[in-house]
Amino acid sequence: MGFRLSPRGTHSKAKGSANYTIMFPQDYFELLGFLAETEVNAPRRKMLATMGEGLHAISCRIENADAAANGLADLGLKTQELNSFSRPVQRSDGSENIASFSTLTFSPSEVPFGSVFMCQHKTPEVVWMPELLDHPNGACGLDAVLAISDTPEQDALAFARLWAHGTVSESEGCFSVETGLNSAALMLFTAENLAKLFPDANFESTAQGAFAGIRIKTSDSERLKTFLSKSQIPYSLSLDGVYLCPQNASGVLLEFV
């Protein structure tokens, strides 16, 4: 699809998982899968089996995960156990660095659907490597996460509580949660309204009970269309750009604007 992938990152033996990241100057998204069945990853494997692959989680930037755990508790927001870990990162020159993180996940009772967690990057220079930021398809950032809800206004208000600058606005049946400066919005639609915007998409192939799609900024839409055509990847036109259907993109609608 024209994204420049990081080298594969392998997590601990207990986790049994690995990832690729698709990096942009301010943010990124992650492709996560399993290399081995372990006791630790059993819940996530069950989730994939019952809900299907797709966009299961939103990660929020946080400067200090320890302080966040205490501060959120004071606000009455429930979180799960703090998790700190590291993984090796291969550089293009063959050298290796260690990336370190601390994550803190909101309890399911705080989140209308899907999963939302916070991630403290302790070694951002190891993850945001300059050679990973130039994508052949022109992608340059995350614009929004798209979701389907039976009660979009109610769910938008519930999601907005999770961000320090969370505010909700409505336009033409879409309830949008603004999450802060240089931060992707969360846009909630009824199934009917989202289908009107993306008539070629089969939303039954998205992760059920999670999120439906990602809106990605591109610096050059013609460059994107040329790349997709040469790669023989089918795409459709939306009101604001180009989209790839979830049935062709691992259960995620990808709109480029």
pLDDT tens per residue, range 92-147:
777 888 989 999 999 999 999 999 999 999 999 999 999 999 999 999 999 999 99
Is 207's pLDDT higher than 90?
Answer: yes
Domain with CATH 3.10.180.10 in the chain: 9-132, 139-256
Give the homologous superfamily in CATH for domain 9-132: 2,3-Dihydroxybiphenyl 1,2-Dioxygenase, domain 1 (3.10.180.10)
Q: What is the pLDDT of residue 9?
A: 87
Supply the pLDDT for residue 6. Answer: 92
CATH for 139-256 (3.40.50.1370, 3.40.47.10, 3.10.180.10, 3.40.50.300)? 3.10.180.10
User: Could you say which DSSP state residue 167 is in?
Assistant: E
Residue 12: is its pLDDT beyond 90? no
**What is the pLDDT averaged over residues 35-56?**
95
Q: Report the C-alpha gap between 254 and 257 in whole angstroms.
A: 10
> How distant, in Å, are the alpha carbons of 89, 126, 128, 217, 225 from that of 131?
13, 11, 9, 19, 23
Cα(61)–Cα(66) distance, integer angstroms:
13
